Amino acid sequence: MPANATLQDVAIRAGVHRTTVSLALRDHPRIPAATRARVKAIAAKLGYRINPLVSALMRSRRSGRAVKHVSLAYVTGYPTRFGWRPPHHDRPDFFPGAVARARDFGYKLEHFWLAEPGMTPERFCDILTARGINGLIVGRLPPGQHAMRLLWERFSCVALGLTLRSPLLHHVTENHFDAAWQGVRRCRERGYRRVGFVFSEANDSPRVGDRWLGAYLAQQLQFPRADRLPACPAVPADERSFREWFLRIRPDALLASHGRPVLAWLERLGRRVPRDVGLIDLAGDHPELACAGVYCDPANLGALAVEMLVGLMHRNETGVPDDQHEILLTGEWRDGKTLPPRG
């Protein structure tokens, strides 16, 4: 069996012309029903699949009209239709960047809500198939949800972020390890010696926290023993656990998964930022706080997801991959008022 069966492979096996195969697979009435069924069976046995992009191009040539839009689906599963984007959610919004990049390639990206009343995975997939949609971008899932069931074999698929854990698809995400690595290094360069780490909010994906913490602990091993600090043990921390850890450890700088709660806790402790302690906001979801940290533009992440998806579609790669690929976007350091150089 050919590794990547072609139209010609099907034609040779069926003993017919390539044109007959093409028409049979599109259920053209010119081809007898028995021949159509036989050709489809041979195509299925060989593993041949119609490439949707090539199919769209051929329709354009036959009709003499340009195919204006090949649609892609942006799939979300929040309890409400737009719970995944601001102002309903304070996490980054990847959708506008993905729409813009899809347009560059000649595609139209449409939002599809998996939680429509009465919707089932089978019906949802049938709707996409009937619309001729073969490419899916899976948006970040709501807190506590880490699985999604669809008929994946029908589609080329890319996930955004690390929230989807079942199945494991190709995905794009921020380079969380590098963000924490850069953060610790910047602290040391600016004269901070005792750098602490705190999970200040629950993460929508534990794998994100593991990467932040891994970079922090790896950097700690390079410090003199007197400067090595344990991370705040509570995951996530509340004000009480943070206060007990902070007063015992006495850090002069903090890497926080989310800056907003830590700023409030420090204020009630009588500690001022940055006079008494420096602060890095690893998530960077609230630029209005003017915290120092590494910033990943969500528009770039959305664009990367589209680029990855288009490549899969051109290669006609569908379903859950045997070898999962991950694209990491390394962000840029942004100075903020929370981490000035120490005198």
Cα 93 → chain centroid: 11
- Give the span between the Cα atoms of 37 and 309, in whole angstroms: 31
Q: Is residue 199 part of a domain?
A: yes
21 with 154, same domain? no
pLDDT at 96: 96
pLDDT at 147: 95
The pLDDT confidence band at residue 58, using thresholds 50, 70 and 90, is: low
The pLDDT confidence band at residue 1, using thresholds 50, 70 and 90, is: very low
> Does the pLDDT value for residue 318 go beyond 80?
yes
274 with 215, same domain? yes
The region, left, alpha or beta by phi > 0 then psi within -120 to 50, assigned to residue 290 is left
228 with 287, same domain? yes
43 with 121, same domain? no
- Give the CATH number, domain containing residue 263: 3.40.50.2300
3-state secondary structure at position 73: strand
74-83, 112-121, 202-211, 232-241: range with lowest mean pLDDT: 202-211
Q: Is residue 59 part of a domain?
A: no
Tokens of 249: 């450890």
Share of the chain above pLDDT 70, in %: 93
pLDDT at 110: 96
Mean pLDDT of 216-243: 95
225 with 195, same domain? yes
Q: What is the domain range of residue 43?
A: 7-48
Q: Is residue 334 part of a domain?
A: no
Which candidate, 164, 115, 160, 108, places its Cα nearest to that of 137? 160
Q: What is the count of structural domains for the chain?
A: 3
- Give the span between the Cα atoms of 159 and 294, in whole angstroms: 22
- Give the span between the Cα atoms of 336 and 52, in whole angstroms: 47
**Residue position matching structure tokens 């939680």:** 115
Q: Is residue 65 part of a domain?
A: no
Residue pLDDT, tens place only, 159-214: 999 999 999 999 999 999 999 999 999 999 999 999 999 999 887 777 899 999 99
Q: How many CA atoms lie within 13 A of 223 on its CB side?
A: 22
- Give the span between the Cα atoms of 41 and 274, in whole angstroms: 70
Q: Is residue 53 part of a domain?
A: no
Q: Is residue 61 part of a domain?
A: no
pLDDT at 207: 85
- Give the span between the Cα atoms of 9 and 342, in whole angstroms: 70
Pairing of strands 135-138, 171-174: unpaired
pLDDT at 28: 83
DSSP string across 241-310: HHHHHHHHH--SEEEESSHHHHHHHHHHTT--TTTT-EEEESS---GGG--BEEE--HHHHHHHHHHHHH
104-118, 181-195, 237-251: range with lowest mean pLDDT: 104-118
- Give the span between the Cα atoms of 158 and 122, in whole angstroms: 19
> Does the pLDDT value for residue 66 go beyond 90?
no
> Does the pLDDT value for residue 35 go beyond 50?
yes
Contact 99, 109 (CB under 8 A): yes
pLDDT at 25: 84
The pLDDT confidence band at residue 53, using thresholds 50, 70 and 90, is: low
pLDDT at 68: 47
158 with 180, same domain? no
196 with 291, same domain? yes
139 with 187, same domain? no
> Does the pLDDT value for residue 64 go beyond 60?
no
82 with 163, same domain? yes
20-24, 25-29, 216-220, 275-279: range with lowest mean pLDDT: 25-29
Question: Rounded to two decimals, what is the model's pTM?
Answer: 0.79
pLDDT at 175: 96
Cβ atoms within 10 Å, residue 261? 18
Share of the chain above pLDDT 90, in %: 71
Mean pLDDT of 220-241: 95
Residue pLDDT, tens place only, 257-296: 999 999 999 999 999 999 999 999 998 877 788 999 999 9
pLDDT at 206: 72
Q: Is residue 337 part of a domain?
A: no
Indicate the average pLDDT of the chain.
89
pLDDT at 55: 57
2-16, 86-100, 315-329: range with lowest mean pLDDT: 2-16
284 with 197, same domain? yes
Residue 166 DSSP symbol:
B
286 with 189, same domain? yes
pLDDT at 143: 86
254 with 229, same domain? yes
Q: Is residue 217 part of a domain?
A: yes
